[in-house]
Amino acid sequence: MDLVIARPEGLYCPPGDFYIDPWRPVERSVITHAHSDHARRGNQHYLAAAPGAGILRAQLGQNINLQTLPYGEQLLHHGVKLSFHPAGHMLGSAQVRLEFGGEVWVASGDYKTEPDGTCAPFEPVRCHTFITESMFGLPIYRWQPQAQILAEINQWWRANAAVDKTSVLLCHAFGKAQRVLHGLDTSLGPILVHGAVEPINQFYRQSGIHLPPTIYAREVKKQDPMMRKALVLAPPATGTSNWVRRFGDYSDALASGWMRLRGTQRRHGVDRGFVLSDHADWPGLLWAIEQSGAERVKVTHGSIGVLVRHLREQGLDAMGLRTEYGDDENNAAFEPESTEVQA
């Protein structure tokens, strides 16, 4: 029996009668993480991993009917044993393990295999069937270690500050911004944040994650000399807005997995691109699948065809599973036009 099937409302567990990250309102939902394409409004009941509770309520409303479960703890529902295991994608992100009638399935949600210091690291979970994302499921996607990318970001900031240019770093406000913050060299200057970033910082700090002090960008006057040495963190959508013009002479950059593609930087019109993703790269996806021990793999949002073909060549029973999740790397829905790789 299939423990998870695709229905018009979302991924459905028939014996448990609940949905995982449904894209249409349902009665019972199990949520893998708080990104808006996975955690949607309108469900009557929500179940999520405990560390994500604060962010989920901020996202969906304080009065949602939310039940939480610590990582690794089991809940029995209609005979289905359910537990959450860290996915390493952002604070509170979880894989969902389901056990019923001797069968074990794991739905990964979004995941990243490199530990990043701002959320519980990805934990491989043994199962018969693994449902994996494939956002960066092409062999060209191979990330450099996070420490190296953060060192490059600090180097860029240092160079800008030396010529009195504000550094505006665009990245997803939710998870990526906190990862960057965690790795910034605070000796270089003050860190300013957009209004979309700071509320999320608070949840990370409350969870015991160390983030350096941050200042609301709007509270700093344009003439203030500290502005010239500052690094500003803001969501990608602000990159072309009036909001960013207040910084006058600035250099901008975008941090995203899509920066692996040369066309991305040009299309966003930024001075610099940093390849930093909250998703597994190609080797990470293959490693997670291998670690799961699954003989059957269902591939969702991303490069489904390429990954399915590769897994079949490895002798696995692999197939695609259609879902309606979006792109949380940029806050902007776009498909890469070119696969030309940045040197």
Give the interface with Zn ion as residue ranges (CB under 5 A).
Answer: 35, 110, 325, 328
- Nearest distance from residue 175's CB to Zn ion, in Å? 7
- Residue closer to Zn ion by CB (options 35, 310) is 35
- Nearest distance from residue 300's CB to Zn ion, in Å? 8
d(CA 122, CA 292): 12
Alpha helices in the chain (DSSP H): 53-60, 146-162, 176-182, 198-206, 242-245, 262-268, 282-292, 304-313
- Residue closer to Zn ion by CB (options 220, 332) is 332
- Residue closer to Zn ion by CB (options 35, 40) is 35
- Residue closer to Zn ion by CB (options 215, 237) is 237
φ/ψ of 270, rounded to 5, equals -100, 155
- Nearest distance from residue 52's CB to Zn ion, in Å? 11
- Nearest distance from residue 110's CB to Zn ion, in Å? 4
- Nearest distance from residue 142's CB to Zn ion, in Å? 20
Contact 177, 171 (CB under 8 A): yes
- Render 245-263 in DSSP notation, one character per residue: HTT-SEEEEEE-GGGGBHH
d(CA 108, CA 85): 9
- Residue closer to Zn ion by CB (options 131, 192) is 131
- Nearest distance from residue 194's CB to Zn ion, in Å? 19
What letter would DSSP give residue 341?
B
Kindly state the tokens that stand for 243: 């909001």
- Nearest distance from residue 271's CB to Zn ion, in Å? 27
- Residue closer to Zn ion by CB (options 23, 158) is 23
Contact 103, 129 (CB under 8 A): yes
With a CB cutoff of 8 Å and minimum separation 6, the contacts of 208 are: none
- Residue closer to Zn ion by CB (options 124, 326) is 326
Sign of CA dihedral 82, 71, 23, 289: negative
Please report how many Cα atoms fall inside a 13 Å half-sphere around the Cα of residue 300, on the Cβ side. 24
Q: 137: exposed, middle or buried (C-beta count within 10 Å: 0-12, 13-18, 19+)?
A: buried
- Nearest distance from residue 33's CB to Zn ion, in Å? 5
- Residue closer to Zn ion by CB (options 133, 252) is 133
